[in-house]
Amino acid sequence: MLPDAVLRYADHEDAVVDLHLPDGPTHRVVVLLHGGFWRAEYDRRHTRPMARALADRGLVVATPEYRRVGNGGGWPVTTDDVLLAVRRLPELLGRVGIESGSLVVTGHSAGGHLALWLATTDLPVSRVVALAPVCDLGEAIRLGLGDDATTAFLGVADSTVVDPMVLLVDRPGAEVDIVHGVDDDDVPISLSQGLVAEHPWVRLHEVPGAHMELLKPGSAAWPTVMDELIRQPRGEISRR
């Protein structure tokens, strides 16, 4: 499951992007942001089976690493890293012969939060597919999700500065879909239901399974995840 290439977007140790490549000549770029409640003990490696499965279906999959709580990350370092990695991605892909247009961004759990946050930036993101995202930071704090992971991520900052529930009041240009397991105990589906109730233009796909099933090729949730990532191509890319 090792990546086909590893690209570097800055000088610090975690400033790398795994690249999983398909065999075909013309494909779309998907940015895959890993989760783990923004903590250093979780890194991009646990998403490699998913990345390989997506590449086998004809997608170029770029998985950025970023600094996390416990290794210099947290707000705003974590989001700064992700923003820089995705901003530099077209240039980095060009070095390996891939031209990219608008991007599809997906992320799981805390990575889903980061994906939704990216939709509110000026990056050329056409679609976001957030998987079991921590999409309401205020509610995550109230529930103490992940042993108070949201509080650890934010530090002294107000949650509203990076909370999709608040930031998506201004509808972005990107389409936004959420896929969430109905039996998720780590990030309850009620967070996604609440986001959609507040922002009804966001589409929620409720699927069987718990938190990690969304990352597992062959799970009951996987067909929906795959369908959402391969539908309505935008920003086609080509190998030189």
pLDDT at 167 over 90: yes
pLDDT for position 14: 98
On whether the CB atoms of residues 110 and 38 are closer than 8 A, the answer is yes
pLDDT for position 85: 98
Q: Convert the pLDDT of each residue in 14-53 to its tens digit.
A: 999 999 999 875 568 999 999 999 999 999 999 999 999 9
pLDDT for position 234: 40
User: What average pLDDT score do residues 148-171 get?
Assistant: 96
**Which amino acid belongs to residue 169?**
V
Q: Which is more confidently placed, 93 or 102?
A: 93
User: What average pLDDT score do residues 72-91 get?
Assistant: 97
Count of the separate structural domains present in the chain:
1
- Cα(49)–Cα(147) distance, integer angstroms: 27
- Cα(96)–Cα(115) distance, integer angstroms: 24
Mean pLDDT for the chain overall: 93
User: What average pLDDT score do residues 76-93 get?
Assistant: 97
For a pLDDT cut of 70, what percent of the chain falls above it?
Answer: 95
Radius of gyration of the chain (CA): 16
CATH number, domain with residue 184: 3.40.50.1820
* Residue ranges making up the domain that contains 30: 5-239
pLDDT at 236 over 60: no
